[in-house]
Amino acid sequence: MATTTYSTENAAGNLTARALREGFYAGLVAFGLFFLFVGLETTQNIRNELVLNQRWGLLAIFVAVAAVGRFLGVLYLQPWIASRKAARAAVVDKAAPEGFFVRNFSKIAIVALVLMPPVVVSLVGVQGSLKWVDNFGIQILIYVMLAWGLNIVVGLAGLLDLGYVAFYAVGAYSYALLSQHFGFSFWVLLPLAGILAAFWGMILGFPVLRLKGDYLAIVTLAFGEIIRLVLINWTEVTRGTFGISSIPKASVFGIWSFDVGAANNFAKVFGLPMSSAYYKIFLFYVILALALLTAYVTIRLRRMPIGRAWEALREDEIACRSLGINTVTTKLTAFATGAMFGGFAGSFFAVRQGFVSPESFVFLESAIILAIVVLGGMGSLVGIAVAATVMVGGTELLREMTFLKAIFGPDFTPELYRMLIFGLAMVIVMVWKPRGFVGSREPTAFLHERKAVSGSFTKEGHG
Amino acid sequence: MSALETNAMNQDPILKVEHLSMRFGGLMAINDLSFEARRGDITALIGPNGAGKTTVFNCVTGFYKPTMGMISMTQQSGKKFLLERMPDFEITRDAKVARTFQNIRMFSGLTVLENLLVAQHNMLMRASGYTILGLLGFAGYRRAKEQSIEIAKHWLEKANLLERADDPAGDLPYGAQRRLEIARAMCTGPEFLCLDEPAAGLNPRESLALNELLRSIRNETGTSILLIEHDMSVVMEISDHVIVLEYGQKISDGTPDEVKNDPRVIAAYLGVEDEEVEEVIEEIQEIQESDGEQGGKH
């Protein structure tokens, strides 16, 4: 007994000594590194002379942070990580069954989304719900839908498309232009916008899909930019950078309208106080339905021969050809189906904003949508939805963090750092889970039992 | 009915390659090659490395377009296809020629069963009304789906992979992947099956199982087989007809026994010393003459 206490005490003493030593070395290295970088500063004074400023205080802070950080890391962080690793290794052997929440995640999520607007309205009132339903709910769901649409192209068929936003733009402008010129309603133009985007996908796809891998990515990127430049420069039709404004609102299948002056205004009919929140709640359900349609069609298509051919194409194109699969039409259908959902989302975007301009369809949008697909795990609907929520919801949350102003001063605007955090998050997720949040793949058919295919077997596609 | 009798009944060639040439830049990979594969036969294509065997395969299956020559395939029904004019996927879909690859090409992220279902793509596409009827849930597609799973099950049983049906194909050991690739090619319903080194990397026991599988494919479905192989135990054991290539030209053509004793083949495989070249050439000419006489007697 005495010996054990002695040995643990001894070990603890050793650890402290080691931490002190390593902390000292870290301080020394930091001093060496930052002595010239931080400790000394050359500036020009008013007479254009070089002046050497000495910043010993700042240097001391740098050195102290390195030394103390290393000291604490060795003394507390490393043992804690090691013990966690050991604990996890012990747990893995038992292969704990998935909990109720994990098994029914998608059902719970759908129910929560359907219930969200009424709950929010009852909690923060009609006017207060605007922020949560519009900024968070609708915004996230648009990206979920776009990412699910792109998932068909990138995740299933393995075709790297960097210009997906082009189809989003085609959908948005089809709704904006056709509703203004011909007065068609949203419910007529929604499918039409999808068809036009799919048609556009075929036109683009035909020459582009002969290319593979990096070349395909570059050409799709170029086509995305071409569409944006056409929208900017074809001023007679698109009104260029001014964009198209006062796009008509959608109505509840023509029964109730949301126009303020209309006789069948939703709020008037139900005797509610006038508010734009009802329209947003209605739009929330529309985009929820559209996103769920995308998910449903994707799930169904995966079990159809065409979906299986898409995944086979991602795995090995030459083998596909040797099995009698026409790879050109298979790729085209994937491109067109993905584009169609992009078109749906685009026309929804137009009706929600009431205003479209080429500003909304820059390359950054394509990159964000692609990042969501990659982060979520290519081909996985749940993973992509989670990634979209984290990415888009996270950047919206940054806007809310006004308390950061108290720390960093009144000039600090947290949303300016969103791209930095976005990049950081991507690096962290790629290190931690290189296959995205959900890396495994559900098989589409089985004989004995359905076993998830580990991400290490699936390929990312090459063309 | 023995194999010999079957052969006697179906002497008509299923595949006829005439004056096939394939040039890659300055390299003549195949030079004026003509051969026939008879229906119901297992035809082996052998030769030293770089002889152009895989190039012949790629020409037959449409992965290369030959520089010159004609490749015609006659189906059981009498329908004739000119393979050199068809794109690769149509050769499998319409002409019913299936193939495997020298370095296995699996859909490694799909399960074994899914691999076999992908092979039945064209049948399932038609049954699902090109996806539209299937999406709407028509019964015709459901029946076709069940049928396709039955076909897959049949071939899984044949390839001895039924237990591993729900595992990812990339998880299978090498020999099982080779068998799966053959099973997958058979799921396209071919009349003519081209196998590119099916026994490469197999141990002797797996080679035996492969022989068994190939024979049962030929005997039960009547599929004719063309195979490239280096493993002589497989070639001599199962093939009815052997064609030997060297430097893109045919140097021998006949039954396994004839080919085995052909000095040209021996020379091609083992090489000849410079002093002996004349000698061997004479010997070869003698044999050719005697071959001619024997041919006349038959």
Partner B contacted by A453 (CB < 8 A): yes
- Res. B172: pLDDT tops 60: yes
Residue B272 to chain A, least CA–CA distance (Å): 39
Average pLDDT along chain B: 81
CA distance B267 to chain A (A): 35
Q: Mutation test of the interface with chain A: which of B88, B93, B103, B107, choosing the one with the most A Cβ atoms within 10 A?
A: B107
Q: What is the pLDDT of residue A264?
A: 73
pLDDT bin (cut points 50, 70, 90) of residue B41 is: confident
- In three-state form (DSSP H/G/I as H, E/B as E, the rest C), the secondary structure along chain B is CCHHHHHHHCCCEEEEEEEEEEEECCEEEEEEEEEEEECCCEEEEECCCCCCHHHHHHHHCCCCCCCEEEEEEECCCCCEEEHHHCCHHHHHHCCCEEECCCCCCCCCCCEHHHHHHHHCHHHHHHHCCCCHHHHCCCHHHHHHHHHHHHHHHHHHHHCCCHHHCCCEHHHCCHHHHHHHHHHHHHCCCCCEEEEECCCCCCCHHHHHHHHHHHHHHHHHHCCEEEEECCCHHHHHHHCCEEEEEECCEEEEEECHHHHHCCHHHHHHHHCCCHHHHHHHHHHHHHHHHHHHHHHHHC
Spell out which residues of chain A touch residue B124, defining contact as CB-CB under 8 Å.
Answer: 304-305
Residues of B in contact with A313 (CB under 8 A): none
- Residues of B within 8 A of A301 (CB-CB) are 131, 135
Q: Chain A neighbours among B 66-85 (CB < 8 Å)?
A: none
Domain with CATH 1.10.3470 in chain A: 109-360
B57-83 pLDDT, tens digit per residue, is 888 888 888 888 888 888 888 888 888
Q: Do B109 and A441 touch (CB under 8 A)?
A: yes
A405/B contact by beta carbon, under 8 A? no
Q: Does A264 touch chain B if contact means CB atoms closer than 8 Å?
A: no
Using pLDDT thresholds of 50, 70 and 90, give the confidence band for residue B7: very low
Q: What is the pLDDT of residue B102?
A: 85
Chain A residues within an 8 Å CB radius of B113: 443, 445-447
Residue A105 to chain B, least CA–CA distance (Å): 24
User: Does residue B4 carry a pLDDT above 50?
Assistant: no
Q: Please indicate if any CB of chain A lies within 8 Å of the CB of B109.
A: yes
Q: Does domain B3-106+191-261 have CATH number 3.40.1260.10?
A: no
Q: Do A324 and B124 touch (CB under 8 A)?
A: no
Cβ-nearest to B89 among A324, A449, A459: A324
Which of B65, B105, B167, B194 is the best substitution to test chain A (most A C-beta atoms within 10 A)?
A: B105
Residue B8 confidence class, pLDDT cut points 50, 70, 90: very low
Residue A377 φ/ψ, nearest 5 degrees: 105, 115
| Partner-chain residue, chosen from A297, A316, A321, that has the shortest CB–CB distance to B107 | A316
pLDDT of the residue at A10:
64
- Which positions in chain A touch B156 (Cβ < 8 Å)? 447
A157 in reach of chain B (CB within 8 A): no
Domain boundaries, chain B: 3-106+191-261, 108-171
Task: Give the pLDDT score at B245.
Answer: 85
Indicate the length of chain B as a whole number.
Answer: 298
Q: What is the mean pLDDT of residues B36-65?
A: 86
The CATH class given to the A109-360 domain equals mainly alpha
Question: With a CB-CB cutoff of 8 Å, which residues 184-203 of chain B face chain A?
Answer: 184-185, 188
pLDDT of residue B5: 45
Q: Do B118 and A321 touch (CB under 8 A)?
A: no
What the block records as the tokens of A287 is 């985009």
* B89 with A445: Cβ contact below 8 A: no
Q: What pLDDT, on the 0 to 100 scale, is given for residue B273? A: 66
Contact: B105, A324; criterion CB under 8 Å:
no
Q: What is the pLDDT along chain A (463 residues), one digit of tens a residue?
A: 444 445 555 666 788 888 888 889 999 998 888 888 778 888 888 888 888 888 888 888 889 999 999 988 888 888 888 888 888 776 655 445 566 777 778 888 888 888 887 787 778 777 777 778 888 888 899 999 999 999 999 988 888 889 899 999 999 999 988 888 887 888 888 899 999 999 988 988 888 878 887 888 888 899 889 989 999 998 888 887 888 887 887 777 777 777 767 777 777 777 777 777 788 888 889 899 999 999 999 988 888 889 899 999 888 888 888 888 888 889 899 999 999 999 999 999 998 888 888 888 889 889 889 988 888 887 788 889 888 888 888 877 777 777 777 776 777 777 777 777 778 877 888 888 877 778 788 888 777 777 777 777 877 776 5
Question: Which residue of chain A comes nearest to B102, CA vs CA?
Answer: A319
Structure token pair of residue A106: 């998608």
Asked if B260 has any chain A CB less than 8 Å from its own CB, the reply is: no
The answer to whether B118 contacts A308, with C-beta atoms less than 8 Å apart, is yes
The pLDDT tens digits of the residues spanning B146-167 come to 888 888 888 888 888 888 888 8
Task: Say if residue B183's pLDDT is above 70.
Answer: yes
State the nearest Cα–Cα gap between B20 and chain A, in angstroms: 21
Give me the pLDDT at residue A150, please: 93
- What's residue A148's pLDDT? 93
B159 in contact with chain A, both atoms CB, cutoff 8 A: no
Is the CB of A443 less than 8 angstroms away from the CB of B117? no
More confident residue, B288 or A452: A452
| Contact state of A311 with B107 under an 8 Å Cβ cutoff | yes
Inter-chain touch A322–B110, beta carbons under 8 Å: no
The answer to whether residue A321 neighbours chain B at the CB level (below 8 Å) is yes
Provide the ipTM.
0.82
Contact A441 B93 (CB under 8 A): no
A300 touches chain B (CB under 8 A): yes
Q: Do B119 and A320 touch (CB under 8 A)?
A: no
Residue A37: partners with Cβ closer than 8 Å, 6 or more residues away: none
Which segment of A169-178, B119-128, B284-293 scores lowest on mean pLDDT? Answer: B284-293
CB–CB contacts below 8 A, A to B = 139
pLDDT digits (tens, 9 = 90+) for B189-224: 888 888 888 888 888 888 888 888 888 888 888 888
